[in-house]
Structure 1
Amino acid sequence: MIGAACAHYASRAGLHVTVVDRGPVAGGTTGAGEGNLLVSDKEPGPELRLALLSTRLWTELAAESPPDIEYERKGGLVVASTEAELTALRALAAEQRRAGVTAADVPADRLADHEPHLAPDLTGGCHYPQDAQVQPALAAAHLLRAAVGTGRLSLRLGEEVTAVLTEKGGAVRGVRTAKGEIRAPHVVNATGAWGGRLARMAGVELPIRPRRGFVLVTEPLPRLVRHKVYSAEYVADVASGSAALQTSAVVEGTQAGPVLIGASRERVGFDRALSVEALRRLASQATRLFPALARARALRAYAGFRPYLPDHLPAIGPDPRVPGLLHACGHEGAGIGLAPATGLLITGFLTEAEPPLDPSPFAPERFAREPAPP
């Protein structure tokens, strides 16, 4: 998705772009995501500013796109199980409102107005009408189709980059694949959880680590869940740097009928093995929020790898250590939502345009002194 957004905005700006992917469109992390476009889970700061810009851009893209990307501004509902959780949630919402987020406190006796099937013993929550969702594989394909339509995009699928080519002075001059060299004055590293590997091909370190997550998919159901609904503890899990297994209920319906249940996080390298414990926790936490889900069948589960960076901010922009190399990776679980703003920033760097927001917090060189990941 990040690469598709970079290609989309760069081609619209008049640049000629080649997208190289070792697999099919959305064959990696994008295809394993839920399509979250969230502001509700972000504390005030650089990432929230990026998310608010992307919220506006997604609205524009949805207006231009066919309906089959399943864009839905369904809103988010964050719920608390204890008074302590509710106090912390409301304090965060107050800070977010001051930063431009629309958030409304919901008392316990009004939660059912938003979600009639919620458990009756929750202490309250917050409603975030700006939260939305897309079908990520369809959305990525649409962005690439639109870029192809400009006549300035070449799409090379099933072709893996094996080397980043550099001049004697160190500047990039393209990449090499099994099919030969592709010359270009700029190379954008939009390889997600594999971003550290491509960076090392160019001779620099970017300490991206994969953070595995599972999603449970139920049978198609009547519209049991109206919003993106998650427990307040999810925000703490997103901000955590722990390598251990963490789970917190995130439940949402889809236009096609199935309910998606997440979210788990753990750092286990690129191990795709099914974790029965992670799925057990997700099912238990989801039925705690929506007791009616206990009667639903889970049809399948799938895993993906979030590209994790130690400070939980993506790397976006030129790498001064290798002239011509730009990074657009490390968005962890927010890559779908943050893709448009990332694409716009990268295009601004390539065209020397005024950036739409301060890009300095995302500067890739902030990791120059970071040790290499294990």
Structure 2
Amino acid sequence: MSFEPSQLGKLNPDAPDVQRRAPPYIRQSSMHEIVGRDARAFKTTRHVIEFLCYIDTIIVFFPVVALCKTDWRWLCELYGAKPHFYRNRKKIYLLVAFQCPQRALLREIANLCDKYCGCLYRLDIACDVIRDPNMSPQEQFRFIKEHMLLMHRDAQRILPVRNADGSTGYYFVKHAHLNGAPRDICAYWDLLSKLIEGFKPAHLDFRMRGAPIRHIDPHDLEFLDPSEILLQHLRFVEFDRTRFERRLFRKTIREANNKAEAVALISKMRRHDQLDWVQRVHDQHRVRLRTNNDLVRFPTAFTWGAKRRSVGRKEIMKEIRTLDVENCILDAHGHGA
């Protein structure tokens, strides 16, 4: 993997010139990665950022109005609390939501899916960027903004949403939980980690509903390979934001009738076009971007021990109580009314 000096320096614009030519997080990071699941296929590569992944949320669909009392009590005991649920007596189904489920709970959920013919409706994979002494979480977040694409996404603005805990999430699909969108990403840099107490890493939540997870057997949940799932939907690209903006603004200046018009157009682009996100550059300008997934490293197994937060419970309830989402749930799993 190769970078141009001008591209590398932009991740830390205040660094001295000697660091711009070869930042330490590029010079010193070197590791081996297993490609797929073949232990013989090793690949020496350099990753700019690495992630830890865990299951953040699952919602399970049961084509019954209620589970038997014994099964429900055992679920609550394994979960450590009463899980949120939504019951529809008319269409005869039950949705049960769990945050940060651990392995013993996942095994019991899989057994109950067998017993009641249930299946997954939603799966959220959370990704914390590993702490790096050479990059702050803000710089890591900026790197994600300038290099990550959600494939096969309709062009639309990235929506910033202020949460109750003071953090700001950036949603790639607007109101995905309301319109039943099958995929969404929410990115943060100021959200407390559920894995490391008191730490605020750059963070991604990749959310899937319905069709993208229809093939997943609940018995396989604890053994899933996060890198395999994520890289089916995400790609990381080589992109020099400053160089792109320079070309775009020069073109705008050439085509403008006068200097005032050019300044106004460029100011509007800076304010409204979200050029700090490569996803929006791809949406609006359709530039050719070279894929290089070696820029990042996702793990091949989940990390366990994440601790759920009560502040997220209301957001889950918004989804499972949303009007008209029922048709999406039932159609996705072949349970017509």
| TM-score, normalised relative to structure 2 | 0.27
| TM-score, normalised relative to structure 1 | 0.25
Based on CA coordinates, which of the two structures has the bigger radius of gyration?
Answer: 2
